[in-house]
Amino acid sequence: MPKMGFIRSFLTHSLYRRADSIDNMSRMNTHALSRLNTRLTDAEKVEVISNVKAVVEVVGSQIDVAVYALKLDAHRASNCDSKSNGQNIVAIVRKGVIKTVMLRRDNQPPTRTALRVDRVIKMA
């Protein structure tokens, strides 16, 4: 099994090699799109989607993965019902489909168990 440093390096290279627009994202449900629009600026959306797409290209679409896709400069709270807040933008991808995008605090555990996924990848 490859080391995480190699994976992160490869993913970072993939990100800079090809920056994709929001319109080019493979698959995302309406809930995830709503969360992106509620919680992020347009520039942040593009960065998050680019990072998620790079991860899915490497790990494949057959597993569930949490992608720490962006680290914000400051703590942010969202205006939605979930009361999501934090400095990290985390996308949950299940079988190649972005299911949700959330804000997570640094003090919340970034574990597979806590996020209910097979892998956790930190791009930010």
Region of poorest pLDDT, from 7-11, 34-38, 89-93, 106-110: 7-11
pTM: 0.75
Q: Residues of the chain with pLDDT > 90: what percent?
A: 52
Domain edges within the chain: 4-122
Model confidence over 68-112: pLDDT tens digits?
999 998 777 766 566 778 899 999 999 999 999 999 999 999 999
Residues 82/104, Cβ–Cβ less than 8 Å = no
* Residue/partner pairs of 100-109 with CB below 8 Å, 24 or more apart: 100/31, 100/32, 100/35, 101/32, 101/35, 101/36, 101/39, 101/40, 101/48, 101/69, 102/35, 103/39, 103/76, 103/77, 103/78, 104/68, 105/75
